[in-house]
Amino acid sequence: MKKRYLALDMFSGGGGLTEGFIRQGFDFAAHIEMNKDAAETLKTRLCYHDLKQNKDQDIYADYYKGTISREEFFSRAKETGAGTESVINSEINTECEKGMIEMIKKNLFDRYDTDTVDVVIGGPPCQAYSLVGRGRDHNGMKYDPRNYLYRHYISFLRAFEPELFVFENVPGIMSAKDKTIFPDILEQCKAAGYHIDPEPRILNANIFGVLQNRNRIVIIGWKEERNHSYPEFRQSSLKGQVWDLLIDLPEQQAVRDNRDIFLPYTGDAYEYARNAKIRNGFGGVRHHAARFHNERDREIYRMAIKQWNRGEGTRLKYNELPEHLQGHKNKEVFLDRYKVVNGNGHSHAVVAHLAKDGHYFIHPDINQARSLTVREAARLQSFPDDYYFEGPRSAKYTQIGNAVPPLMAEGIAGKIRQMLG
């Protein structure tokens, strides 16, 4: 039997990194997440994994399909020994950091008879580092306190002394706060006794078989005295296109009062969807209700789809719209407001802004003329169909857009397991 290693997940979000590390056999000391909806999603998913291990998946299937309430789900899950105690729904700040560390260490002693972990994973919220986020703030996010959340991450490195750590974030961290953040991360990690390569490693999610062009900085550090090197990530053999993830789902229209109900698949699974562990639901999916769009937006979507299909990937520009479809007079900036997802290839990066509107993620089928559903966005991020996201629809989109794709996380976790030996 393979050894099970212990991980600590910080800034966990909806659990993309967690999912990948669980697939590679890691146990978790704790998952720390301040957002209530994301923390609830983590609890649901951890119960799923416990129930699966105990061969009690029917309980989860009942909740997923909506035949039992959340309260009944957790009550029945608890009877089987499934637990959610490792999820800490709290902000990490100077006031609570010490107490949180002590609580996690106590739980580690009680469960595993140790006060250390093998690996710390996670990445602070990226809004303060992303170019888009800085573009929306008139100070360029220079005074945003989230710039310094990485210091709490390093405090946990000092406290738990892992052999390795994985720190994931957007490439914009390189230029954040006048290019002072990344050098400080290097310096603080070295002071804590860890080596990381001075040259940042930017990994694209498509290397891991994700059908998405998504670049992220992935810092992997190890104790100074260890003879490790940054792992080599080779291109995945998984092949597919976005249509492989859309074609077997029921068609949806952007009408009012679409409810999040269980919907059976309408076609067979494509090879990519099976091999990527995405098409694994209970004969259908949740979270596939289309959001409402007014007729003006739908007309624009049809124009965008028609131009995309006719022009071999040409984007519709805002200043090309007929006057009656233009909502404002600014025709000089932000012209690329409507993006059709490339059904015949890889998607552009799924981001949390999808929670606000769907203009950047238009379904390629002109007959549906709508933005992606939560389930379609989750599939593009490589979340399996049996993954249940908690909270309102906007919270689900945010969790998905902020997540590390599980396929990417699984690939990284595999290398970390090899390094731990």
Which architecture, in CATH terms, is 6-236+402-420? 3-Layer(aba) Sandwich (3.40)
**Mean per-residue pLDDT over the chain, rounded:** 90
Q: What is the pLDDT of residue 329?
A: 64
Residues 6 or more apart whose Cβ sits within 8 Å of residue 21 = 7, 9, 28, 121, 409, 410, 413, 416
User: Is the predicted pLDDT of residue 279 greater than 80, yes or no?
Assistant: yes
The pLDDT of residue 129 is 46
Give the residue with greater pLDDT, 106 vs 2: 106
Domain residue extents for the chain: 6-236+402-420, 243-392
Per-residue pLDDT, averaged over 265-283, amounts to 94
Q: Which is more confident, 12 or 200?
A: 12
Structure confidence at residue 147 (pLDDT)? 59
> What 3-state DSSP class applies to 2?
coil
Residues with active-site annotation: 126
Give the domain 243-392 fold: DNA Methylase; Chain A, domain 2 (3.90.120)
313-317, 372-376, 401-405: least confidently modelled range:
313-317
What is the C-alpha to C-alpha distance for residues 258 and 368, in angstroms, rounded to an integer?
A: 14
> Using CA atoms, how far apart are residues 87 and 28, in angstroms rounded to an integer?
10
pLDDT at residue number 127: 52
The Cα–Cα gap between 409 and 139 comes to 33
Residue with the bigger pLDDT between 181 and 66: it is 66
Checking if the pLDDT of 43 tops 60, the result is yes
Q: Name, in order, each residue with C-beta under 8 angstroms of 371's C-beta and a sequence gap of 6 or more.
A: 254, 290, 291, 293, 301, 354, 357, 358, 359, 361, 362, 363
| Residue 399 pLDDT level (bands cut at 50, 70, 90) | very high
Q: pLDDT value at position 138? A: 47
Q: What is the pLDDT of residue 125?
A: 78
Which pLDDT belongs to residue 199? 84
Query: In the prediction, which pLDDT does 392 show?
Result: 97
Cα separation, 91 vs 376, whole angstroms = 30
- Mean pLDDT value across residues 401-418: 97
Using DSSP's 3-state secondary structure scheme, residue 6 falls into strand
Percent of the chain with pLDDT over 90: 76
Least confident of 21-35, 141-155, 268-282: 141-155
- pLDDT tens across 362-372, in order? 999 999 999 99
Give 313-358 pLDDT, tens digit per residue: 788 888 888 888 887 766 666 677 899 999 999 999 999 999 998 8
What local confidence, expressed as pLDDT, does residue 175 receive? 77
Return the DSSP state at 294.
Answer: -
pLDDT, tens digit (0-9, with 9 covering 90-100), for 190-236: 999 999 988 889 999 999 999 999 999 999 999 999 999 999 999 99
| pLDDT greater than 50 at residue 117 | yes
E-strand ranges in 311-372 read 347-348
Of how many residues is the chain composed?
A: 421
d(CA 199, CA 90): 33
pLDDT at 1: 42
